[in-house]
Amino acid sequence: MITLSIFPVIQAQSARIKTQLAELDRRLALRYGDRYHQFKQQLEGTKVWYDKTRAEAQRSGTIPLEQKQAETDRQAATAGSAAARKEAVIKQQLKDVWQNLKSRQGS
């Protein structure tokens, strides 16, 4: 029974807070005009992006940060492998040039 007696109080507080928020929104719109409306649109876009990303993460069972870290690790490993292959090619070319110079000097 206690929850039923609290319900009207909560409703009244909720209505008062909504009224205060509406008044704050009105004052901010008057004070900042288009900048405030642009900010609200950006905030809404951010909320949509966050909700979408969160839902995708929950569906896939992974955390986006972990996905990005794994992708970065793969890219670094690929770049490292490519650098190692290029280094081996350059070393071989230098050896060939050195051998060529040595053979010319010996002739």
Please determine, for residue 76, whether its predicted confidence score (pLDDT) is greater than 90. yes
Tell me the average pLDDT of the chain.
89
> Mind listing the pLDDT tens digit for each residue in 2-53?
566 888 889 999 999 999 999 999 999 999 999 999 999 999 999 999 899 8
pTM: 0.46
Please determine, for residue 63, whether its predicted confidence score (pLDDT) is greater than 90. no
Three-state SS string over the chain comes to CHHHHHHHHHHHHHHHHHHHHHHHHHHHHHHHCHHHHHHHHHHHHHHHHHHHHHHHHHHHCCCHHHHHHHHHHHHHHHHHHHHHHHHHHHHHHHHHHHHHHHHHHHC
